[in-house]
Amino acid sequence: MSSQKRSPRTRPAVIDPHSLFITTVSQAGHITCTGKQAVKGSHSTLIAAAKGVQLLASWDMDAAYLKQEPQSPRWDYALAVQSDRECVYWVEVHPASSTGQVEEMLAKLKWLQAKLVAPQFNALNQLTKATQVRKIQAFRWLYTGDNRIRPGSQEARKLARAGLNAPERMITLQ
């Protein structure tokens, strides 16, 4: 099992035999939390589920890999939702106060994508593709502070080519 620590306010998600996300993360030795409880503090208020969408579980991926990969550009969170099908969103909370942040985000995305092709996360990769098939961006940048990455800019186009959205102040999971 992962040595990931949970705060007293979070509850592990009960393994739902119908949730591929919860089952896969648990089988890989990690802990998911109910709803968006794995998302730290004020960041959780910046993430919402659209009407008719159930937020199933979340996983603090950054905390899960902190000890074994302390120098890696780790991704923050995964959130599973259920509407017509189960999907997963990958949310990174990161400043967007300079255009230089784009390269840091792309390094984090590359790290995450390498994890998703690992055999133990094949199902998460499939859930990510299920999200993208719905024409929804699965990889999301939730920014803090100021945003210097402007729509249509060279940096925004570079993010789009890599499959990552431009920084968002709030995220609605659909």
**Run of H or E residues at 147:** strand 139-147
* Residue 75, pLDDT score: 98
Tens of pLDDT, residues 99-131: 999 999 999 999 999 999 999 999 999 999 999
> DSSP label at 119?
G
Q: Cα separation of 159 and 155, whole Å? A: 6
pLDDT tens digits for 40-84? 988 999 999 999 999 999 999 999 999 999 999 999 999 999 988
DSSP string, 25-85: HHHTT---EETTTTS-GGGGGGEEEPTT-EEEEEEEHHHHHTTT-TTS----EEEEEESSS
Averaged confidence pLDDT in the chain = 91
- For residue 41, how many other CB atoms are within 10 A of its CB? 8
**Is pLDDT of 15 > 60?**
no
pLDDT at 78: 98
pLDDT of 8 higher than 60: no
For residues 118-145, average pLDDT: 93
